[in-house]
Chains A and B, each alone.
Chain A
Amino acid sequence: MNGPFEFTLRLGDDALIAAQRLAEWTTRAPEMEEDIALANIALDQLGAARLLLTYAGELEGAGRDEDALAFLRDDREFRNCLLVELPNGDFAVTMAKLLFLSAYQLPLYTALAGGADERLVAIGAKARKESAYHLDHASLWVRRLGDGTEESHRRMQAAVDEIWPYTAELFAPDPGAPVDPSTLRPEFERVVTEVLAEATLTRPESGWAPAGGRDGLHTEHLSYLLAEMQVLHRAHPGARW
C-alpha cells in the first residue's frame, strides 16, 4: 500500500528510530559538548517524528495519534529504513549513520518543503533547517575522525564500510510518492563523496544492498529497540502520562 499515509509513516518512523538510537548516547558521549550535540540532534529527530506521526495518523483516519503509532505497533508494522535501527556501535559508526541519514533527509525535507501538501511543506521547511545542522555536525566529525589519528582513521573507514550498504534502501524508486526517493540520490552522492574525500576515506564499492524496512522486514535489532521503547506504555493500557 503506497500513498500519503504510508509515505508519511516511513519518514516518521525513520526519525523516531533515529531519535531513539541517538538518545542512547546521552551520558556516554566522548565529551560533554558532544553529549549536548547528540541530545540536540535526537530532540530534532524526535520533534520531526512527532509531527510526521501525528499527520500520518490523521491521513489514516483510524484515530491513531503519535503515541498509538509509536508505542502500539509491532516491529512488522514499522516502516523505518534499516540504517536507523542499526546499533550505535562506536562513535565512528554513529557518525557514519548520521552522515548518511542527514545527507538523505536534507534533500528529502527540502523537496517536501517545495511540494504540494501543505502540512508536509510546513514540516519539511522546519526539518530541513535541522537536517542542515545535523549534516554539518556529522561531516565535521567524519573529517576529524578520518583525518585525525591512525586509530580514528581505521575506525572511521570501518564504520563507513559497515554502514554504506544500508544506504541503497533509502533511494528505492517510488514514483507515486510525494517525493520519489530515487530522485534524491544525486545530491546525496555529491555531498557524501565530497565529505569522504576530505576525510581521506575511501568510498565503498556498491554491492550488497540489504533492504526490507519499508515493508516491515527489519533486522533483528528493531525488536529489542521496540521492546525497550514500548515497555512502560504497553504495561498501562489506556493510561495518560
Chain B
Amino acid sequence: MYGNDFGPPEEAPGGGLLGEVEAAEAALREAAARQRRGAPASDDDLAGYFAEVIEADQKIEPRDWMPEKYRKTLIRQIAQHAHSEIIGMQPEGNWISRAPSLKRKAILLAKVQDEAGHGLYLYAAAETLGVSRDELVDLLLNGRQKYSSIFNYPTLTWADVGAIGWLVDGAAIVNQVPLCRCSYGPYARAMIRICKEESFHQRQGYEILHSLSHGTPAQKAMAQDAVNRWWYPSLAMFGPPDGESTHSAQSMAWKIKRFSNDELRQRFVDMCVQQAEVLGLTIPDPDLRWNEERQAYDFTQPDYDELMRVISGDGPCNRQRMAHRRRAHAEGAWVREAAAAYAAKRAAEKKEKVAA
C-alpha cells in the first residue's frame, strides 16, 4: 500500500544519499569495533581524552565526560530537531483528510506518523544528555527553543504535500546525512534510522509531483505553483550564509557538523536541478545555470531577511503552529493526569500485595 511502486531507484531521488547513510552506518560499526584508548588516566586527563576520541572519529557516549558547551550545543540542536519533527506534522497533517485518493491518504498518514516517531527518537537522544523531554517540550511551548523555519509556511494545495516531500525532506536529508557521522553516538544512530525513512518520504513526495506534472493541465499548474512557493524557503533551511552562522566553527571542530551551510545548500541545488528536469517542472530562479569552472550550479540566494523574520516569529504560520501545539498540550492535560493517577493506583496495589 506504500508508494514504492515507482520506477527503478536510480531515476528517483534518494539513491546516492541512501548509499551515504549506509556508509555512515558501516563506519559507525567499525568505530565501535576499534579499541578506544582505555579510559582517561586521571580526572585531569578528561579534556585530552575527549579530544582524542573526537580526533580518532570514535563516538562520544552518554557516560563519557564532555565539555559543558558541547553538551549544551547538542541539547539545543537535537531538541530543535525533535521540535521540528513534531511541528512539521502540522503542514502535512493539514491534507490528510482531503488527500485525493485512498492510497495517497494512507501514504501521507504513515508519513506523518513516522515524523512523530522521529520526534520521539530525537527526544530520547536528547535525554541521554541529561535533560528531560518534558523540559524540552516546555521550552518549545514557551517559545524559548526553535523549530525549523520551513514549517511556518502554509500548505495551500495538495501539490504542497509533494513539494514538501521532494524539497523540504530533500533538504533535510542533505543536511542530516552528514549527521549520521556526528561525534555524539546517540545522535548519529538516531540520524541513520531517520535518514532512511526520510529518503523514502522524499521519494514519495517526488512521486506525487511526478503524477501531477504528468496529469491534467490544472494538476501540472498546481505542481509548478507549489515548487515556486517552496523553493526558496527550502534553500533557507540550510541556515544563514557561512559568514553569518554563529555556531558553525565550534560545531565543525567538535565534528557535530561536517559541512558548512553554504556547502550543503550547493549540494542540494545541484541535486535538485536534474530531478526537476525529470519532473518536467521549472525551478523558479532565472539565474540558475551551470558553472563549468566551479562544476556546480550558480543560483540566486534565498532572502535571508525573510529567514530571520520567520525565525524570530513573524512568518505566515508561526502563531498558528504554536497555538495548535499549545492547544493540543493543554487539552490533553486531563488525559495525561488520568494516566498518571491510574498508574499510581496500580503501583500502590502492587506494593500492598507484596507487603501482604
Q: Which residues of B contact A16 (CB under 8 A)?
A: 102
CA distance A43 to B339 in the complex (A): 25
In-complex Cβ contact of A39 among B97, B101, B113 (8 A)? B113
Cross-chain contact B338 with A145 (CB below 8 angstroms): yes
Cross-chain contact B335 with A91 (CB below 8 angstroms): yes
Taking the closest CB of chain A, its distance from the CB of B334, in whole angstroms, is 5
**Among the interface residues B101, B117, B334, B335, which one has the most CB atoms of the partner chain A within 10 A?**
B335
Cross-chain contact A144 with B332 (CB below 8 angstroms): no
Cross-chain contact A241 with B211 (CB below 8 angstroms): yes
CA distance A67 to B101 in the complex (A): 6
Taking the closest CB of chain B, its distance from the CB of A126, in whole angstroms, is 12
Q: Which residues of A contact B336 (CB under 8 A)?
A: 30-31
**Among the interface residues A20, A30, A228, which one has the most CB atoms of the partner chain B within 10 A?**
A30
Cross-chain contact B100 with A232 (CB below 8 angstroms): yes
Cross-chain contact A148 with B215 (CB below 8 angstroms): no
In-complex Cβ contact of A228 among B90, B97, B342 (8 A)? B97
Cross-chain contact B109 with A144 (CB below 8 angstroms): no
**Among the interface residues B109, B212, B345, which one has the most CB atoms of the partner chain A within 10 A?**
B109
A40: nearest chain-B partner, CB-CB: B113
Q: Which residues of B contact A144 (CB under 8 A)?
A: 338-339, 342
B354 proximal to A (CB < 8 A): no
CA distance A132 to B98 in the complex (A): 28
CA distance A49 to B1 in the complex (A): 12
Cross-chain contact A43 with B106 (CB below 8 angstroms): yes
B346: nearest chain-A partner, CB-CB: A147
**Among the interface residues A42, A71, A91, A232, which one has the most CB atoms of the partner chain B within 10 A?**
A232
A96 proximal to B (CB < 8 A): no
B119: nearest chain-A partner, CB-CB: A32
B89 proximal to A (CB < 8 A): yes
CA distance A163 to B103 in the complex (A): 30
Q: Which residues of A contact B117 (CB under 8 A)?
A: 36
Cross-chain contact B109 with A26 (CB below 8 angstroms): yes
B76 proximal to A (CB < 8 A): no
- What range describes how many residues of A lie at the interface? 35 or more
Taking the closest CB of chain A, its distance from the CB of B135, in whole angstroms, is 15
Q: Scoring A residues 31 to 66 as 1 if CB is less than 8 Å from chain B, else 0, what string do you get?
A: 111111001101100110110010000000000001
B163 proximal to A (CB < 8 A): no
State the interface size on chain B (CB cutoff 8 A): 48
A23 proximal to B (CB < 8 A): yes
Cross-chain contact A27 with B97 (CB below 8 angstroms): no
* Known contacts A46-B102, A50-B1, A67-B101; A23 and B335 CB within 8 A of each other: no
Q: Scoring B residues 109 to 124 as 1 if CB is less than 8 Å from chain A, else 0, what string do you get?
A: 1101100110110010
Cross-chain contact B101 with A233 (CB below 8 angstroms): yes
* Known contacts A27-B90, A40-B113, A43-B110; A148 and B337 CB within 8 A of each other: yes
Q: Which residues of A contact B98 (CB under 8 A)?
A: 228-229, 231-232
Q: Which residues of B contact A27 (CB under 8 A)?
A: 89-90, 93, 112, 324, 328
A155 proximal to B (CB < 8 A): yes
B344: nearest chain-A partner, CB-CB: A148
Cross-chain contact B97 with A20 (CB below 8 angstroms): yes
Taking the closest CB of chain B, its distance from the CB of A8, in whole angstroms, is 15
CA distance A99 to B324 in the complex (A): 27
B311 proximal to A (CB < 8 A): no
Cross-chain contact A36 with B334 (CB below 8 angstroms): no
Q: Which residues of B contact A34 (CB under 8 A)?
A: 332, 335
Those 6 A-B pairs whose CB atoms lie nearest each other, nearest first: A30-B332, A148-B338, A152-B338, A30-B335, A39-B113, A144-B342
A interface list, Cβ under 8 A from B: 16, 20, 23-24, 26-36, 39-40, 42-43, 46-47, 49-50, 53, 66-67, 70-71, 90-91, 143-145, 147-149, 151-152, 155, 228-229, 231-233, 236, 238-241
Known: A36-B120, A39-B116, A144-B339; 11 extra A-B contacts, CB below 8 A, are: A30-B331, A36-B113, A39-B113, A53-B102, A67-B102, A91-B335, A147-B342, A149-B341, A228-B97, A239-B219, A241-B104
A and B contact pairs by CB, cutoff 8 A, 13 listed: A24-B97, A26-B93, A29-B332, A47-B106, A50-B106, A145-B342, A148-B339, A149-B334, A152-B337, A229-B97, A232-B98, A232-B100, A232-B158
B interface list, Cβ under 8 A from A: 1, 86, 89-90, 93, 96-106, 109-110, 112-113, 116-117, 119-120, 123, 158, 208, 211-212, 215-216, 218-219, 324, 327-328, 331-339, 341-342, 345
